Structure 1
Amino acid sequence: MPRDEMYSSSGSEASNEQDWLNDSNDEDGEQETLQVISLCDDQIFPDAASMLAYCKDKYLLDFLAIRNRLQLDFHGTVKLINFIRQRVHEAYPVPAEITEEHLQDDALLKPFLEDDALILCLDDLPEPPASSTEAEQAAVAGLSSEDLVKRNAELQRELDTLAQQFNRYRLAVQQTLDTRWAEGDAEATTDGPSNSNKAAVQDASSDPAKPDNDYSESYFASYARNEIHETMLKDHVRTDAYRDFVYQNKHLFEGKVVLDIGCGTGILSMFCAKAGAKQVIAVDKSEIVNKAREIIFDNGLDGNIVCLSGRIEEVTLPVKEVDIIISEWMGYCLLYEAMLNSVLWARDKYLKPDGLLVPSHANMWISPITNPGYFPDEYITDHVDFWRDVYGFDMKAMQANIYDDVRVDVLPPDCLGASPCAFEMLDLHTVKTEDLVFDRPWKTTLSGESKCVYGFLLWFDMFFAPSRHDTTVGDAMTAEEWSAGGPQRTAFTTGPFGHPTHWKQGVVINKDYAEDSQAVAPRSELHGTVSFTIPESYTRGLNIGITWEIPDKKSKKTETWMLH
């Protein structure tokens, strides 16, 4: 909403309008009964005076101040009414400052509401005050330097007060819209959600995209703190990739409706708005969404971005479908946190048939750790043997089950002793939720220096294809290979051959690496399977199972690690 609405141009103007607001209520017996619908919500009033007073008191929308500031005539005032009603109806934020440019379209002369009683009452509104510019200039000219300093201080205090009032208004309106959309009580329109959304929300509890345990609440709460967002934003591999794709493909975003799932601080939403998106709907269950609203407003993008608080499966969007879904959903080993489930749910419900997912593809990789110089000499010493002597105290009790968990760490590429193997490729436009639980084969050839399988390293690559029909991303293609195809190709890796990211890599240690049975012959083929399953105790976690065979030993080894 405009900041200028809250200014009082002069004492006489304020008195004139207040007298009208008070006196008009005394004439009810002389006027035909009207039903004037509020500009800001669905409340109905018997006259324009009480409605405008209500909007001014509750929403800080001073309609008369806007009209007077823009010096609108009858037709301009009609346009202003229809402009505000249209923005509120379509769930778009009213601009921070309404200007003449907003009212240039002659289509705004057509009443947004049939028989709009407010338009019928325009002749009853108080006349705009006469311009006082010349008088003000003359008064200022007669002030001394000391008086000017005092006057400037007074104006600054008024401005600070108005800014605080506007912030309160902005939060009040956004909370009202959140409540209205979450309840799903609005009637279906050509631009709004269908009445079937209620049923969809009710069914969400049984959907795999909606975990039903208490861990989800702590999961969302963890994203309300600054530290995690600082870490992600400072991950330049991650953030630069999203920025580069959006800015290098502005033609894909211009004039489009974009859904940002798990918006966090709103950085991806702001990229999209800057690229020309008509509307960006930013959704987040975490309390960080309140900070996102403020950030978006502070950057002047509140006219293009609307924030919704809640799970994507539960909120009601102000549109039936979107052109693009953008989300940074990836977790450790790609699928940890199960956020992809929510993205796929939203894809099936809201994305247009020819819509785009950003990013578009993911490849998952595995490679055996065989370098004895690094593992176990360095890694085991630092992370396992460490507990044997901690400042002179024996803490080996901490070593219990130490090999059962997936460790999240950054390892150097020379710890590997074989070529990486891509064991799963996800096309995000077509993959289904049930595909995220799988058992896939893999194989590789060990290097000439490999003598033992100490464990395995897992990571993923992300691809940003500009079309859902792009066929250039291969099943075993690395991010580096695909990016080399041209400057417009955006991709990144979380693996050991690239710059470290906050996802790091998944490290799983072979519990029996010290046994002779785990010895391998150099240049031999190693093959097996990789499985990803979901633990019943924590549906946002992962159980990662790896099976491998050592041909010379004719033995098969199977282990499972937890990422909870």
Structure 2
Amino acid sequence: MGDIDSQTITEICSGSIEDNEDSDGWDEMEVTGEQTTCLFCSSQFHTIAVALDHCRTEHNFDLLELKTKYNMDCYSFIKMINYIRKVRPDPKTIVESQTALWDNDEYLKPGEMESWLMYDFDDLGSAPSTPHYAIDGKTPISNITYAELQRQIQELTVQLRHKDALLQNAMQDISKMKQVTRTIVEAADSLDTSMNACVASVPVRYDSEYFNSYSHFGIHHEMLNDKIRTESYRDAILKNVNIFSGKTVLDVGCGTGILSMFAAKAEARMVYGIDQSDVIYKAMEIVRENKLHEKVQLIKGRLENTELPEEKVDIIISEWMGYFLLFEGMLDSFIYARDRHLKPNGEILPNRCNISVVGCSDLARYDTYITFWDNVYGFNMQCMKSEVLTEANVETVAIETIITEPCILTEVDLKTCDTNTPNFSAKFKLKVKKSGKLTALAGYFDIFFDLENPVSFSTGPHVTRTHWQQTVFYLKNIIDVTEGNIIEGTLTCNRMLKNVRGLHVSITIGEDKYQYRLD
């Protein structure tokens, strides 16, 4: 089935896939020239309808009878197709069996994509069976006159025009509603988040989009290819083997399992890695391929909703950091693990971090990103500036554009911090090192493993680039600064109320106050 996840399967079953922007390809499955191969022989057909008729007459395999016999649903159909393709049973074995031979979730695992999996199984038996009146997907129209067809086309054309007009009005109303809603929500996001909402309060079904983003293997390649990040974790673990030897370890958000395997190499007694993303299935294969499956046990699930094999562990490791350190809200899961699963006096890696800000002067980048909207192929699009300026931008800041000393905004002790950590306000003073025009502030973070053999790394512009890069806050009003000046201001960070994994950041410099979002 390719990389189909459980959400996609649910959409197939419910029919909601039709609303997807790619739905045209699904709707046309029965009328394209793609060949459908018989489930039991090499015969091929233009449509599934004809293939089903062939299975019924040539192999005595009647899908409608099986649907009734086993009370099959869409999931059962998918599992049956994968079972047939994998096991290649005789059709008689399936027809005569008293139980569904495919009743095992292993047959929901991704396999090879094919047209059978696109078949709208829920419609089977709800209308006259296509094979009984169609010849290779073509329906005779001998009883329909040409004049009648013309009349029907004209009526449908009038109806379509009327519906188009209604749709246009509806779209305009929706656009207005979106603007009003956005204004209300953004105003709410700028308020104090005293209610201290956190990831644990979000139902799993509403959190699936976040975890699905980590099902794409490109993001794992980017993280593993980040040597500063990966080698720092490796060194913190393998240079402190005495801490791990004989201990139990929990890897929160284990991804491909790289940290779990480092811990196993450091002689841990048992490592439990947990991740809600479907990448966990590949991680299981990776662990087996490296012959570490007896020391590393991987679990699919969201930590806040999953029971672990051992309630308490000696060490918790996690690479939970997001852009500007706190974006994504995975710190919440780390804190949840610490408070519920760490033994007294247990170790956590990393154990300390901080967030800093520094001033930048990059007029060329400012012109490319902001001034660009003044004249776009001869058209004025300045209204776009307000949108662009409220989006914190993740990019690599060139070291030569840094014109101030950095300033630490907040420090986080991971042994004592709580889920209110993303809500903070800090004053900053930036000493100007080089005269110029201040176009933006750049935020970054540092990570510390305070162990017997300490390790640390930075994501700032003054060191080798990491995949986190820097979070850049462009200023609407550029500021002229002179060497030796002190730029004073306040940066306030809060969780978004509409999305607890997102951040709302406000920066005040003098009389100017700027609002930004990371979501």
What TM-score comes out, normalization by structure 2 length? 0.60
Residue 275 of structure 1 aligns with an amino acid whose one-letter code is A
Hey, what does 2:223 align to over in structure 1? 232
Say if 2:299 is the partner of 1:334. no
Checking the alignment, whether the CA contact within 8 Å between 1:532 and 1:544 is kept in structure 2 is yes
Residue 405 of structure 2 aligns with an amino acid whose one-letter code is S
Checking the alignment, whether the CA contact within 8 Å between 2:274 and 2:303 is kept in structure 1 is yes
Say if 2:408 is the partner of 1:422. yes
Hey, what does 1:367 align to over in structure 2? 358
C-alpha distance in 2 between matches for 1:291 and 1:509: 40
Map Cα deviations across residues 467-518 of structure 1 (whole Å, 9 max, x no partner): 6xxxxxxxxxxxxxxxxxxxx33111110011111100010011122xxxx4
CA drift at 1:546: 1.6
Q: Do the aligned partners of residues 545 and 397 (structure 1) sit closer, same or farther apart at CA in structure 2, a change above 3 Å counting? A: closer
SS of equivalent to 2:272: strand
Map Cα deviations across residues 356-386 of structure 1 (whole Å, 9 max, x no partner): 11111111111122x3xxx22x102222344
Map Cα deviations across residues 278-303 of structure 1 (whole Å, 9 max, x no partner): 00000001111111111111110110
C-alpha distance in 1 between matches for 2:374 and 2:404: 32
Say if 2:422 is the partner of 1:431. no
CA drift at 1:396: 5.7
Say if 2:240 is the partner of 1:249. yes
C-alpha distance in 2 between matches for 1:348 and 1:423: 26
Checking the alignment, whether the CA contact within 8 Å between 1:211 and 1:539 is kept in structure 2 is no
Hey, what does 1:309 align to over in structure 2? 300
Hey, what does 1:525 align to over in structure 2? 486
Q: Do the aligned partners of residues 444 and 386 (structure 1) sit closer, same or farther apart at CA in structure 2, a change above 3 Å counting? A: closer
What TM-score comes out, normalization by structure 1 length? 0.55
CA drift at 1:207: 7.0
Q: Do the aligned partners of residues 391 and 560 (structure 1) sit closer, same or farther apart at CA in structure 2, a change above 3 Å counting? A: closer
Checking the alignment, whether the CA contact within 8 Å between 2:404 and 2:434 is kept in structure 1 is no
Hey, what does 1:449 align to over in structure 2? 435
SS of equivalent to 1:495: coil
Q: 1:33-72 to 2 correspondence within 5 Å?
A: none
Checking the alignment, whether the CA contact within 8 Å between 2:503 and 2:518 is kept in structure 1 is yes
Q: 1:21-36 to 2 correspondence within 5 Å?
A: none
Hey, what does 1:95 align to over in structure 2? none
C-alpha distance in 2 between matches for 1:304 and 1:233: 22
CA drift at 1:326: 0.5
C-alpha distance in 1 between matches for 2:211 and 2:320: 13
C-alpha distance in 2 between matches for 1:525 and 1:395: 35
Hey, what does 2:515 align to over in structure 1? 560
Say if 2:500 is the partner of 1:535. no
CA drift at 1:394: 6.9
SS of equivalent to 1:357: strand
Checking the alignment, whether the CA contact within 8 Å between 1:215 and 1:538 is kept in structure 2 is no
SS of equivalent to 1:405: coil
CA drift at 1:464: 1.0
Residue 426 of structure 2 aligns with an amino acid whose one-letter code is R
Larger Rg: 1
1:411 paired residue among 397, 401, 411: 397
Residue 330 of structure 1 aligns with an amino acid whose one-letter code is M
Say if 2:443 is the partner of 1:458. yes
C-alpha distance in 2 between matches for 1:215 and 1:384: 34
Residue 336 of structure 2 aligns with an amino acid whose one-letter code is W
1:259 paired residue among 238, 250, 258: 250
Hey, what does 1:184 align to over in structure 2? none
Map Cα deviations across residues 200-237 of structure 1 (whole Å, 9 max, x no partner): xxxxxx97232526652100001011111011111111
Hey, what does 1:209 align to over in structure 2? 199
Residue 446 of structure 2 aligns with an amino acid whose one-letter code is D
CA drift at 1:324: 0.6
Q: 1:488-499 to 2 correspondence within 5 Å?
A: 488-499=453-464
Q: How many pairs are equivalent?
A: 330
Residue 251 of structure 1 aligns with an amino acid whose one-letter code is N
CA drift at 1:388: 5.6
Hey, what does 1:546 align to over in structure 2? 507
Checking the alignment, whether the CA contact within 8 Å between 1:209 and 1:345 is kept in structure 2 is no
C-alpha distance in 2 between matches for 1:232 and 1:361: 21
Say if 2:337 is the partner of 1:351. no
C-alpha distance in 2 between matches for 1:395 and 1:455: 21
Checking the alignment, whether the CA contact within 8 Å between 2:366 and 2:439 is kept in structure 1 is no
Say if 2:268 is the partner of 1:281. no
SS of equivalent to 2:513: strand
C-alpha distance in 2 between matches for 1:264 and 1:425: 27
C-alpha distance in 2 between matches for 1:448 and 1:343: 40
